[in-house]
Structure 1
Amino acid sequence: MFLTYKDLSELFPNSRGIRDINLPFHTISSFAEQNQPKGLFIPLSEESGELGKAIENGAIGAIWEEGKEIPKYTPNHFPIFITNDIVKGFKEMTKQYMKKIKTSETKNMDMTKFLFLEEKLLNENFKTYDIAVVEENLSLYIEQLSEERRG
């Protein structure tokens, strides 16, 4: 069960680019340098890198902070979901996806992979698909990002 354009459009009604409700995102990453096939790029911090590099590495969409200029090289069809608080938007997206997983039969199904550097996840291995572990690790990561923004 993949996170889809439809899921994101419910959370982020302000968007640009194509509007394909069936478009699946196979990966989610906050680091442009990371290989992210059919990915959703979320630049959560200064260390995230450039959108162009994320596109080179497979990103097919992005969540973007309102007021931050979208690079001119961004393809017109490239879906960008705009939010006034990217960390809060990421948190809401994560909650919605976890709810979607919990209410569906997910055994033997492909799922969206959350790709984050291990040191950002407090040295936890994030390659597991156990829903409880994924949810806990994402909560820790979001909490860390919120603290960094306040500090």
Structure 2
Amino acid sequence: MFLTYEDLSTIFSDIMGTKEFDLDYQTVSLKADLYQPKGLYIPVDSTSCDLQQAIANGAVGVVWEKGRAIPKYTPNHFPVFYTDDPARAVKEVFLAYRAKISGKKMAKKDKTNFLFLDEKLLKEFYETYDNAVIAAKFNKLIEQFREEKE
């Protein structure tokens, strides 16, 4: 069970591009230079914000900061989900997806792969950790991104 366009449309109200409710996102990445097949790219800082590279690496959608100009090369049909705070959007997307798959047994290959997670720290996969540990890791990650922005 993958993260879908429909899932994202419940999180983000301001959306541009195609409306394909059955579009699956197999990966979520914070970095453009990572291979991200059928990926949702979420640039959280200006240094990682190369949408063209993300598309070349497989991104098929992006979460983009409101007020920031979307590059002219962005395809018209490319889904763009606008947010006021990209770092917070990362947390919202992850938690919404986690709630979606909660209690469901699936092979790892059938789940959306969040490429910003350190799998060595998370052992086999994030469901081995309790909610408090996951929330603490996300809050730390968000604070790091906010500090880098300033």
Question: Normalised by the shorter chain, which TM-score bucket?
Answer: 0.7 to 0.9
Q: Normalising by structure 2, what TM-score?
A: 0.85
Extract unaligned runs of 5+ from structure 2.
none
Q: For residues 48 and 11 of structure 1, what CA distance do their matches in structure 2 show?
A: 23
Question: Secondary structure at 1:34's aligned position in 2?
Answer: coil
CA shift at 1:82, angstroms? Answer: 0.3
Structure 2 match to 1:3: 3
Identity of aligned residues (%): 40
Q: For residues 49 and 134 of structure 1, what CA distance do their matches in structure 2 show?
A: 31
Extract unaligned runs of 5+ from structure 1.
none
Deviates more, 1:86-95 or 1:59-68: 86-95
Structure 2 match to 1:107: 106
Paired residues, what number?
146
CA change 1:35–1:144 in 2 (3 A) is: same
CA shift at 1:134, angstroms? Answer: 9.4
CA change 1:139–1:15 in 2 (3 A) is: farther
Question: Secondary structure at 1:69's aligned position in 2?
Answer: coil
Question: Secondary structure at 2:90's aligned position in 1?
Answer: helix
CA shift at 1:99, angstroms? Answer: 0.6
Does the 8 Å contact 1:62/1:81 carry over to 2?
yes
Are 2:24 and 1:27 aligned?
A: no
CA shift at 1:48, angstroms? Answer: 1.6
CA change 1:56–1:137 in 2 (3 A) is: farther
Structure 1 match to 2:80: 80
Structure 2 match to 1:143: 140
CA shift at 1:142, angstroms? Answer: 4.3
CA shift at 1:129, angstroms? Answer: 2.8
Q: For residues 78 and 134 of structure 1, what CA distance do their matches in structure 2 show?
A: 35
How much is the aligned-residue C-alpha RMSD, in angstroms? 2.4
Does the 8 Å contact 1:115/1:126 carry over to 2?
no
Structure 1's consecutive aligned runs of 4 or more residues displaced over 6 angstroms after TM superposition are none
1:115-146: CA deviations, max 9, x gaps?
A: 1275xx8xx44683341349745751442332
